[in-house]
Each structure stands twice: as structure tokens, then as C-alpha cells.
Structure 1
Amino acid sequence: MIEKLPVDDKLPGLDIFVCTIDPEKEPTFEVMNTVVSAVAMDYPSNKLSIYLSDDGGSPITLYGIKEASQFAKVWVPFCKKYGVKSRCPKVFFSPMGEDEHVLRTNEFEAERDQIKAKYEKMQKNIEKFGSDPKNLRMVTDRPSRIE
């Protein structure tokens, strides 16, 4: 059953916190999937705030969020344009998300393929950056950094 949400001006502000500390235990690409999914939520963007907290201060997390923000710039409009329900790109591009692809136009398929290529490029870039052990290190004593 689909619940009817009130009109935008009646919706409360929503803060989403995504926390990570160790990129070896919590792969950065998986964390970025969570962030991109939250950004793509079907909720008024002026009432939605997403925060990523990296208590480990790992360079790969900063690199990953920069890659994810670039991907989100094409993913979110795609989701809105086609009414995508599975807003997590990992699910959408997996066999679990194939129901979303049924009875879609050639234009949809072409755009989907372009977006999938960008998603795979993001994954490859993050994994390549993370293959250097110095980019996985956790910093134990450092000043705060807000970007």
C-alpha cells in the first residue's frame, strides 16, 4: 500500500546521517551507494539534508564523496524523469532492479546505459584510489574538516 504524503510545505525537514569509520570494514563504494540513495530520495530537496561523518578521516572517504556527488548529478534527474522506484543505484543496476526496466522506451534504455557506465566508472575510480594503502589509513588525531 502506498502512503500519501502531505503536500511539500507540510512535510518536516529531514536530516539523514551516514556514518563510517573504517574503509576496510565498510567499503567506501558501499557507503557512497547509501549516500547517493539518500540524496535521490523522493522528498523535497529543500527539506532534505544528508550528512556524511567519517570518524576515521580516511582520504578515500573524501575522494569517494566527490565521485558520488558527480554521479548524483546525473542519477537524481534520471530517477525523477523516469519515476525510478529503486533509488539505490546498486539495486537498480542489479537483477533485483530489472522490474524497473520492463516496458520502458528506447530513450530510457539509452539513458540507463549511459548512467550505468558512469556508475561503473565511479566504482572503478573509488576502488582504484582505495587500492593504495595510504588512502585507506585512518587518522586518529586531526582537526575537523567540513566540505
Structure 2
Amino acid sequence: MVNGSAMSDDLTAMCDLCLGEGAEGDGVLEVDTAAADSALRAWRAKAGADPHALFHLTSGARPVKWRVRHHSCGTGPRFAYTIAVERIRSWTAAVDWSIHLTDKTFLAATDWFDLLDRALHPRRAAVSGILPRIPRDLSGGPVGDT
């Protein structure tokens, strides 16, 4: 993984519980892997094991949300995959984590790519999660402005 101290702080982590910013060493981005595994099993029972079927487009499938949480805002799920907030403070780190997570079976049943999409387009009502410090689109302008 990309070393958190070598990255610029392009991104910030906003706690899903208190909506406060997560400082270094003070929070995690996490997903309930047990819930994701359960959702994936239920989806496979309904849709079959077809590797080309898409979990997110299957009627009734609900992806398990990645959440940002301060350590002081309670405990996380019993079985969780966690990323310290200081390890996902740049777009490079977000891409690096995406590559790392691709071999995790639970990823298909989570909203990881929606999390990244909300970071790219924070005006889509994102008030928590992983967000840009300065909202910009890919051409360098403010996100959402034409």
C-alpha cells in the first residue's frame, strides 16, 4: 500500500456517525465483511454463479456500505475489513486500494465503487465518507459546475 506519510492530502474522511473529519490515527474506513459475504451468498442463490451477472444490477440486491468511523464514535462490525483513514488520503491511494481489494470476494457485495464515485462527485449529496478536500472534476474544474 501507499505510505500515508508520502501522500498529499487530496482526500478527507468524514465520519458517517458524527460527520466530523477523521484525523490521522483517529478513524477507519470499514466494511462489514460478514454482511457482504451473506449478501453475496444470497445473491448467488438467487442469480446463480454466473461470473458475468452483476450484483448491483440484480433486483433486491443491497450492497453493504463502506463507512467512515471515528474510534470514539463506537465500535465497528465484529468481522470488518478496515483501512486507517490516513492510508486513503489521496487519489493514488484510492486507486491503490481499489487494486488491492479486487481479489477480495466480499468486494462485489459492497458499495466500494459508489464510495469512489461519491468522492469524485461530492455534490451527489455526499456529506460523509471519503471526499475531496477541494472538489474538482477530472479536468481540474469544480465538480458539478459546467
Task: State the TM-score, normalized to the length of structure 2.
Answer: 0.29
**Greater relative contact order (Cα < 8 A, sep 6+):** 2
Identify the structure with the greater helix proportion.
1
Report the structure number with the largest CA radius of gyration: 1
